[in-house]
Amino acid sequence: MLTSITLVKLKSLDPKIEPVVRWFKLLDFWSLRIEKRITEARLHVPVDIETLFREKFELPLIEPTRTLLCTLLQKENGMELAMLGYKTGSETPPGAKKPWEDPETCTGKLRKLGLVRFQDNILLKPINSIAFDPRVQFLIGLRKQPVL
């Protein structure tokens, strides 16, 4: 019996060209060891590196976080944090902790992964350059295959 594995394929190791490399660096995941392994695999992300990435960031995402990201990817203008049950804007005292930034919440987890941003502490918006990349969606557990 044969088994087929589809790996994430990079265009380049240059973060100016390849958004996935830029994302890895933003997340402080990139290293010389990872770069070497990807180079050896002809610009594919080897399974051991995928596994290391998923373990470091506790992936795949849990169902509520996946659902939130899927919903965000379908909304052109983002989602109001108030719709997610957060008190925002003038309701939040100056200097108070913003509960939507807590890394244990769905919104905080997506922010920690560099997939969303908070606009004016009112809106949650996906970061277009990376959140819509099918390879990134595969790595975080949103897709079953890294390519369309």
Model pLDDT, residue 3 = 77
Residue 92: its pLDDT value, please? 60
Distances in Å between the Cα of 61 and the Cα atoms of 22, 55, 64, 121 are 21, 11, 8, 23
pLDDT value of residue 59: 95
Q: Give pLDDT, residue 4.
A: 77
Burial class (CB in 10 A: 0-12, 13-18, 19+), 108: middle
What ranges do the domains of the chain cover? 6-56, 63-131
Task: Give the residue-averaged pLDDT of 8-27.
Answer: 97
**pLDDT: which is higher, 121 or 65:** 65
